Amino acid sequence: LAVIERAGGGVLFVDEAYALVQGSADGAGSKDNFGHEALDTLMKCMEDMRESLVVILAGYTKEMDGLVAQNPGIKSRINHVITFEDYSGDELLQIAKLMLGSMQLMVTDAALRRLHRSCQIVAEAHDPQGGNGRFVRNQIDLARLKQAKRLCSLDRAHRTKEALMTLEEEDFEEFHIPDTGLFLTPRAGPAKPGPVLL
């Protein structure tokens, strides 16, 4: 209740709202009494403070549908439902380029192609556990770890500034989604071209 009252006159954003009462994948059942009490309190405040409080409940579509189905009071209090589509493979690649640019990292053409293919795979799978946009950040973090290990194996003369700033194809993991048949396999390519500054 204190959190709701502090949000008075503004916006209360509840991410993964179904986690309050989620007992199964579809939102059925209960997690505990506290969760139900919290949701009941929120519903009452949405009515009592409707002139001074904006409440946004966010989460994955399937789980949010389950939450509404199990708690009919929510539907009568929510006037607008906005569904955001998953990012496409090309959009995920653009996000990756922005992240890499902010880190002042370069990637070779081959590395960029492998990353693009990974983005296409995760976009085609529509896997809610994949995180979609979060997937890109994880792939880059893993690539940076592999790059660090690769550079440690080089002699000092080859640890140039350009090498430190460049991600190679081998730095990006093979990527697959279990039980989908979607798999990114490493393949030999032509000689490595120069890095691309994003």
Residue 179: left (phi > 0), alpha (psi -120 to 50), or beta? left
Predicted model pTM: 0.67
Residue 147 CA to residue 149 CA, distance in Å, equals 5
Residues of the chain with pLDDT under 70: 1, 22-32, 128-131, 174-198
User: What does the pLDDT look like over 107-150, one tens digit per residue?
Assistant: 999 999 999 998 988 888 877 666 677 889 989 999 999 999 99
3-state helix, strand, coil split of the chain in percent (to 5) is 55, 10, 35
pLDDT at 171: 94
One-letter amino acid at 123 equals A
CA dihedral 159, 164, 166, 168 (to 10 degrees): 60
Helix (H, G, I), strand (E, B) or coil at 182: strand
Longest CA–CA span in the chain (Å) reads: 69
Of 52, 47, 48, 49, nearest in space to 78 by CA: 47
DSSP per position, 10-67:
SEEEEETGGGGT--STTS-S-S-HHHHHHHHHHHHHHHHTTTT-EEEEE--HHHHHHH
pLDDT at 176: 53
pLDDT at 50: 83
pLDDT at 108: 95
